[in-house]
Amino acid sequence: MIRDKKVIAAIFIFLISGFTNYFIQKHNLEIVHNKFPDKTRFSQSIKTQDDWSYISPIQHYLQTNVWRENSFGNSSYFKRSPGYPWFIGIFISSDKKITPQNIQKLIGAQIILHALVPVLLFLLFVQLKISFTTAFLASIIWGISPTFNGFTNYTLTESIAPFFVLLFIFLAIGIQKWKIYVSAIVLGYLIVLKPIFLLFVISYFFVVKPFNLKIVGLCILLSVLPLSIWKIRSYNIDAESIHLHPIYHPQNQNVFRLPHQEIFELVKLYNPNGKNFHEWIAQLEKSAQQNRSINWTEALSIFPKNVQELLGEKNLKKTIYTYHASLKEIHLYAQKGIYSQKEIKVVNDFKTYQNKFIYANPFTSFVYTPIQVAKEMILHSNLNLYIFQHHYRNQFWMEALRFISLFMHILVFILPIIGLFIWKQNLPFIAFLIPTILICIYFIFVQRALEERYTYPFLALLYCTSVITLIKIKNYKKI
C-alpha cells in the first residue's frame, strides 16, 4: 500500500512537472519565434551562440566518421567535450543531421529528463525518511516553479545536466554496491558533459561507508575514464588540448587566441561582466576585419578612467593599436599554427598590466570583484526565459513572481551553508556540497565572468539540502 502510494505520487510529480515545463517553454518559444524568427531553429528550439558547437561535431561524425567541428584547425577536433553531442546523436543518427522532426524529439527528451528531476528529489526525500507530505510538496514546488524551469528548449548542456547530477547523487548514496558503481558511470558521463564536474570524484571519499579504498578507487577510475580517453585522443591530435576547456588555440581563425585571454584576465580583475567584454572585443574584431581605423572612445571604454591613469592611456592605446593590427593578420598566422610577434607583444603587455593593477589594487582584485561575482551568481531570480525577462516585464504578477523567485534562489544558496555549519558532517549530502562549494569558489575567484546557466545544474542539490536544513531548524526549535 505504501509502495503504491509512492508510485502514484512519483507519477503525479512527473506529470505536473512535465506539463508545467512544456507549456512554459512552448509559450516562451512562440513569443521568441514571433518576434525574432531567426533566433529559433525550425521553430522547435532557441538558438544560442554555443549550440552549433554542440551540433556540428556529431553531424560531422555521422556524415564522415570524423569527430570535429566544421571549422579550421586542430582545435575543431576537441573544442567541446563530447557529452552533449553524444546525447544529440541519439536523436539525429538516422538522418545524420538536424531536422525539424529530430530536434522535436530531442526537446521532448529534454523535457522528460527535466520532469524526472523532482521525481528524484521526492525519492531522495523519502529515502532520508522525511515525511511523505513534506517530500511530496517540496518536490511539487520544485516541479512547478518557473525559477527552476529553464533551458529545456535550448541545445545546451544545462538542458540535461540537472537530471544527471541528481541521478548521480541518488545512486551514489545507495547502500547497494552496484548503485555506487553505476553512479560512477553516470559521473563519468557528467564529466564529459561538463568537465567541471570532475571535482565530484571527491564525493566517493565520503559516500562509501564503511570506507573501502578499493571501491573508492574503482569508482574514481570509472568516473575519469571517459574524459581520460577523450584527452588522450585530443593530445594525440594536438598537445595544445591539455586544458579541460581548450578554447584558445594558435590555429583559431577568430579572436579566441592568447591575446583575448590576457586582455580578459585584466578586465576580470575589476569588471567581471563577460557580456560587456565580448561585445567590446567583437567590435574591435569587426573594425579590423573591415579595415577601419580604431574608434578610441569605444576601444578605451572597457578600461575605466582609474585603470587608464594607472596603466597610462598612451600605453593602452599603443597595445590596443598593436592588437588591432594583429587581428587583421589572424588568418595568415592561424594557417601556420603560430602566434604573430604582434600577438606575443600584446600578451606580454597585458600580463604586465595585470601585475601592475593587482599590485596597486589588491583589495579590488581579490575581495571587491569576487564579492560582485558572488552577488551576480546568487542575487537573481533565475527566471532566464524571454517571457520573464522582457515580454511580461513590469506587470504586477510578473514582478511578484520575480520577487518570490529571487527569494527562493537566494535561500537555496544560503540554507545549505547554514546547514553545513550547524550539523557539519551529519548534514546529508555533505559529500556533494563540498565539490559544489569548490566549483562556486572557482566561479567566483577564477572564472569570474559568469552566466546564470552555469549554476543551474547544481540547484536541485542545493534545493534538496535547503529543504532538509529547514526541517532540521524546525525540529531544533521544538527541542
47-56: long-range contacts, CB 8 A cutoff, minimum separation 24? 48/154, 48/155, 48/156, 50/156, 51/154, 51/155, 51/156, 53/79, 53/80, 54/80, 54/84, 54/85, 54/88, 54/155, 54/156, 54/157, 55/85, 55/88, 55/98, 55/155
Kindly give the confidence (pLDDT) of every residue in the chain, 479 residues in length, as a single tens digit, with 9 standing for 90 and above: 556 889 999 999 999 999 999 999 999 999 999 999 999 999 999 998 888 889 999 999 999 999 999 888 888 999 899 999 999 999 999 999 999 999 999 999 999 999 999 999 999 999 888 999 999 999 999 999 999 988 999 999 999 999 999 999 999 998 788 999 999 999 999 999 999 999 999 999 999 988 899 999 999 999 999 999 999 999 999 987 778 778 899 999 989 999 999 999 999 999 988 888 999 999 999 999 999 999 999 999 999 999 999 999 999 999 999 999 999 999 999 999 999 999 999 999 999 999 999 999 999 999 999 999 999 999 999 999 999 999 999 999 999 999 999 999 999 999 998 888 777 656 778 899 999 999 999 999 999 988 889 999 999 999 999 999 998 887 765 54
Task: Report whether 201 contacts 187 (CB < 8 A).
Answer: yes
Nearest to 23 by CA among 404, 305, 385: 385
Residues in the chain: 479
What the block records as the C-alpha cell of 79 is 573544442
Nearest to 44 by CA among 88, 97, 99: 99
Amino acid found at 37: P
Q: How many whole angstroms separate alpha carbon 303 and alpha carbon 444?
A: 21
Task: Report whether 46 contacts 33 (CB < 8 A).
Answer: no
DSSP 3-state assignment of 45?
A: strand
Residue whose C-alpha cell reads 595585470 in the numeric block: 354
Q: How many whole angstroms separate alpha carbon 328 and alpha carbon 263?
A: 17
Please state whether the predicted TM-score (pTM) of the whole model is above 0.75: yes
